[in-house]
Amino acid sequence: MMIGAIIQARMSSVRLPGKVLMKAAGRTVLQYVIERLKQCTALDGIVVAVSTDDRDTPIVKHCEELGVAVCRGSLDDVARRFLDAAERFGFDAFVRACADSPLLDADLVDRAVERYRECKCDIVTNVMPRTYPHGQSVEVVRTELLRATWPKLSTPEHLEHVTSFFYEHRSDFSIVNLCAPRDMSGLRLVVDTEEDWERFTRIVDRFVGPHWQYGLAEIIEICESLDVCGVEQA
């Protein structure tokens, strides 16, 4: 079974345009995500899924510099973009990763993939319900499931968020959720706003070794010492 990570990336973020190519400590946000996923032992490949919109061409060039595969597709139909990437690279299942999660824990990704291989389910997730921080979301999705369901994804939300349809109809699918040892859902380790960016840069400034050596536990310790972990507003 081939399982790869597909990173969705775009330059046209509403709240923080161009965030995926913003640099902290000499690396772009997207580069952090890629380098962390490269530490995973359970993945069979990494692909960055970007749109054919001209604004996303700098992402393609950046990926070429990093030696990472790219698949281009629809800007608004992100689900189709994922499906195209999975089919093109022969992934039987894929990890849905976001380019605005530069502190994603590689061990968490490995655990999710290993759980998927064990349970033979449709989806393994840690966001239904969410107990991990924003920016630590992991979803492993069976490619055939997305292929069969994609024609039913008729709303902009379903097309953009890829897995929301499955969660809304979760009784129709086999979904396994991974829970954190404690509820950390209020912590923000994602880069989606200026405040998030400031928090992220302060965290990476504390790193004294390669960033991928800092897992979720170590990052939370840094956040607590800096008192910079934001809380998601209701």
Task: Express each pLDDT in 147-168 by its tens digit.
Answer: 999 999 989 999 999 999 999 9
Looking at residue 231, its pLDDT comes to 47
Write down the CATH superfamily of domain 3-185: Spore Coat Polysaccharide Biosynthesis Protein SpsA; Chain A (3.90.550.10)
Looking at residue 227, its pLDDT comes to 85
Residues of the chain with pLDDT under 50: 231-234
- Angstrom distance (rounded) from CA 93 to CA 187: 28
Looking at residue 128, its pLDDT comes to 94
- Angstrom distance (rounded) from CA 176 to CA 153: 21
| pTM assigned to the model | 0.95
* Nearest CA among 8, 10, 17 for reference residue 56: 10
Residue type, 54: D
Looking at residue 150, its pLDDT comes to 97
Looking at residue 229, its pLDDT comes to 66
Looking at residue 230, its pLDDT comes to 54
Phi-psi category of residue 52: left, alpha or beta, with phi > 0 → left and psi -120 to 50 → alpha: alpha
- Angstrom distance (rounded) from CA 92 to CA 181: 30
Mean pLDDT across the chain: 95
Is the distance from CB of 7 to CB of 185 less than 8 angstroms? no
DSSP state of 53: S
